[in-house]
């Protein structure tokens, strides 16, 4: 992800969070963990709102003060981060985007008299003239989002409401109150992802060595500056089960949006660091992947764990190192169109020879077929799959079939970082 990335390519994001603690010794600190990681990706996303939503059963209070504490820690390292990517926003700019939501939750608290600075910020973000849609990542309940939608539906014509919904997207970590089903039923044209088990791939199953307390201490909290020190290192304090180290159950909501060349937010079934989803457009929920012989929803996230944890390590290092001392993502470049239509037997040339690395590191290329997003289920072989230029021969098919080919470009820096491209091949008989 190059430093010159235009603002127009950055996804627009509003977060609603039921953040309820800043420390690992009480409550459920995974929202705080996710907020710390989000700050490291503030250059990849245009953050337009950080809304403190209801903490629900934890008391009728919202903690925008906790969001401010994380942004303050970010502000202490922002200038160092900007050495590596000049498009990190200032802490002052992020402070302006923090807003309190409703301390109450649920449909009973949606309607006249329930507008909040948080619901107003959602409306303002969507109304801002911009061709990019606004993604609302709901880490807790969706009461403030429901209020924003209620307000627009009350104040505007059906045509204006339709235009508003067309500019809005939702990635919700479950239905944590009854407003999620209410939104989907009342606004069926809204693109809405309900993540029910996928998010648990951040910390369950997969390679456990990348989420331990020891890993967190070594790569995040110890000696990485005030932002790393603000990351609560879980030690079994989660009320929903003993967790040690990383939880970050809300993080997939923004990993899903990262413009690293892997996913397409408008295509939930494609899969990305934030998981993969199926459904009847525009409403989606968990899909499953098979990794190492195990089929699960969580696999759609943990299959990428080594890559997104390496990125976490690298960016924590940015908080206290010079550009020359740090590692930065390679630039994966694909020759030819990302979507191709071919006939059976036709050779598809896959060319990443133009890929570069900002640090001058050596690059390794890997091409592989990601079967679940595609429709073709037969065997396929990519010739020279670990070379910059590879070839795939289109199979014989009886009806149009799609094949998703993933390019991974990985440098040999420390830690090794990966960028992606995807080629979607449609084979037509």
Q: What is the pLDDT of residues 37-82, one digit of tens each?
A: 999 999 999 999 999 999 886 667 899 999 999 999 999 999 999 9
Terminal Cα distance for the chain, rounded:
37
Give the model confidence (pLDDT) of 318-344 as tens digits. Answer: 999 999 999 999 999 999 999 999 999
Q: Could you give the CA distance from residue 152 to residue 183 in angstroms, rounded to a whole number?
A: 13
Half-sphere exposure (Cβ direction) of 282: Cα atoms closer than 13 Å = 17
How far is the CA of 267 from the CAs of 91, 169, 263, 278, in angstroms?
Answer: 32, 12, 8, 10
Contact 197, 300 (CB under 8 A): no
Strands 277-280, 283-286: parallel, antiparallel or unpaired by DSSP?
antiparallel
CA 55 to mean position of chain CA atoms: 22
Per-residue pLDDT band for 393 (boundaries 50, 70, 90) equals very high
pLDDT, position 240:
64
Q: Which residue has the higher pLDDT, 3 or 376?
A: 376
Mean pLDDT for the stretch of residues 117-137: 98
pLDDT at 409 over 60: yes
The reported pLDDT for the residue numbered 236 is 78
Rounded to whole angstroms, the Cα distance separating 51 from 223 reads: 30
Beta strands in 304-358 (DSSP E): 339-342, 347-351
pLDDT at 1: 41
Q: What pLDDT was estimated at residue 326?
A: 98
Phi, psi (rounded to 5 degrees) for 212: -80, 165
Based on DSSP, count helices (H) and strands (E) in the chain, helices before strands.
Answer: 12, 19
286/383 Cα distance (integer angstroms)? 33
The H or E element containing residue 73 is helix 64-84
Query: Which pLDDT tens digit goes with each residue over 108-123?
Result: 999 999 999 999 999 9
CA distance 38 to 139: 12
Angle CA(280)–CA(193)–CA(54) in degrees, nearest 5? 145
pLDDT, residue 154, reads 98
pLDDT grade for 414, boundaries at 50, 70 and 90:
very high
Rounded CA gap, 19 and 14, in Å?
15
Q: Is the pLDDT of residue 4 over 50?
A: no
Q: What does the pLDDT average to over 306-312?
A: 98
The total of other beta-carbon atoms located within 10 Å of residue 360's CB is 8
CA 267 to chain centre: 13
By C-alpha distance, which of 407, 380, 390 is closest to 350? 390
pLDDT of residue 3: 39
Does residue 235 surpass a pLDDT of 90? no
In percent, the amount of the chain with pLDDT more than 90 equals 93
| Cβ contacts of 200 within 8 Å, gap of 6 or more | 249, 297, 298, 301
Is pTM beyond 0.75? Reply is yes
Mean pLDDT within 347-367? 98
What are the distances in angstroms from CA 113 to CA 110, 117, 167, 179? 8, 12, 25, 17
The answer, yes or no, to whether residue 175 has pLDDT greater than 80, is: yes
User: Span 10-36, mean pLDDT?
Assistant: 94
Q: Out of 52-56, 83-87, 187-191, 219-223, which region has the weakest mean confidence (pLDDT)?
A: 52-56
Q: How much is the mean pLDDT over the chain?
A: 95
127-146: average pLDDT: 97
């Amino acid at each position: 992800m190059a430093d010159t990335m235009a603002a127009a390519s950055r996804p627009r994001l509003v977060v609603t969070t039921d953040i309820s603690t800043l420390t690992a010794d009480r409550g459920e600190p995974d929202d705080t963990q996710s907020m710390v990681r989000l700050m490291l990706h503030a250059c990849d996303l245009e953050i337009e709102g950080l809304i403190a939503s209801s903490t629900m059963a934890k008391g009728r209070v919202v903690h925008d003060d906790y969001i401010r504490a994380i942004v303050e820690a970010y502000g202490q390292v922002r200038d160092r981060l900007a050495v590596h990517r000049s498009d990190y926003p200032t802490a002052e700019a992020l402070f302006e985007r923090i807003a309190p939501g409703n301390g109450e939750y649920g449909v009973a608290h949606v309607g006249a008299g329930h507008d909040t600075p948080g619901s107003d910020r959602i409306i303002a973000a969507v109304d801002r003239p911009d061709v990019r849609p606004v993604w609302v990542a709901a880490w807790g309940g969706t009461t403030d989002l429901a209020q924003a939608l209620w307000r627009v539906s009350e104040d505007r014509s059906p045509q204006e409401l339709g235009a508003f919904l067309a500019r809005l997207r939702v990635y919700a970590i479950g239905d944590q109150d009854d407003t999620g089903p209410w939104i989907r039923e009342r606004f069926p044209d809204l693109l809405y992802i309900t993540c029910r088990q996928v998010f648990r791939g951040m910390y369950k199953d997969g390679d456990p060595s990348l989420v331990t307390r020891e890993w967190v201490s070594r790569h995040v909290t110890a000696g990485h500056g005030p932002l790393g020190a603000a990351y609560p290192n879980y030690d079994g304090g989660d009320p929903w089960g003993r967790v040690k180290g990383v939880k970050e159950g809300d993080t997939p909501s923004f990993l899903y949006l990262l413009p690293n060349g892997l996913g397409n937010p408008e295509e939930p079934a494609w899969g990305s660091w934030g998981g993969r989803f199926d459904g009847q457009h525009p409403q989606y929920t968990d899909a499953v992947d098979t990794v190492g012989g195990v089929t699960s929803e969580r696999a759609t996230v943990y299959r990428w764990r080594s890559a997104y944890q390496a990125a976490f390590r690298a960016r924590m290092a940015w908080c206290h190192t010079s550009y020359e001392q740090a590692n930065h993502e390679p630039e994966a470049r694909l020759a030819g169109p990302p979507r191709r239509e071919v006939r059976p037997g036709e050779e598809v040339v896959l060319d990443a020879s133009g890929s570069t690395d900002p640090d001058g590191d050596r690059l390794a290329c890997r091409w592989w077929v990601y079967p679940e997003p595609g429709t073709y289920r037969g065997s396929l072989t990519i010739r020279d799959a670990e070379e910059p230029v590879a070839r795939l021969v289109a199979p014989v098919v009886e009806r149009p079939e799609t094949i998703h080919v993933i390019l991974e470009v990985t440098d040999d820096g420390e830690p090794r970082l990966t960028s992606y491209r995807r080629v979607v091949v449609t084979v037509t008989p």
